[in-house]
Amino acid sequence: MKRILISILMLIVASAFVMAADEKPTALPAGGGDPGKAYMDYCKAMKDGNKDTLKKLVSADRAKQMDDPEFAKMFPMIQSMMAKDIKITGGTMTSKEANLTAEGKDGMTGGVTKGEIHMVLEDKQWKVEKDSWKSSM
């Protein structure tokens, strides 16, 4: 009886992993829904230089990196390079992750820049895991 119960529990756990892996992403509209709102909150905190708020808006791994003294030295440069006038153009999301697409103005040149943002759901809150921006030449 104990073996059967353990086998059933193992099947349930395995099924949950398969279901999570097979989850199909859904499209996000312009603005990016809740993940997009969270990213725009991150952008505001970055612009305002509010490091305490920033730490709450990024993934746990990224928040740990902000504790590094080098981050404090680099922060003004990071702020100046940040894209301006950002608009979330769309993206996709699952129950645990979202990938946003965005456009804005390059923080250094003022030219058009396109962004890809990866968000994760931690503690029931969307948080920035990574953002990457590429400018037109």
CATH number of the domain that 52 lies in? 3.10.450.50
How do residues 94-105 score in pLDDT, each as one tens digit?
999 999 999 999
Q: How many domains does the chain have?
A: 1
Report yes or no on 11 lying in a domain. Answer: no
Overall pTM > 0.75: yes
Largest CA distance in the chain: 69
Indicate whether 16 pLDDT > 50.
no
CA angle 24, 29, 31 (to 5 degrees): 125
Structural domain includes residue 3: no
Contact 66, 78 (CB under 8 A): no
Domain that holds residue 100: 25-135
* DSSP structural state of residue 37: H
CA 103-91-134 angle, to 5 degrees, is 35
Q: Residue 128 falls within a domain, yes or no?
A: yes
- pLDDT tens figures, 47-83: 999 999 999 999 999 999 999 999 999 999 999 999 9
pLDDT digits (tens, 9 = 90+) for 73-117: 999 999 999 999 999 999 999 999 999 999 999 988 989 999 999
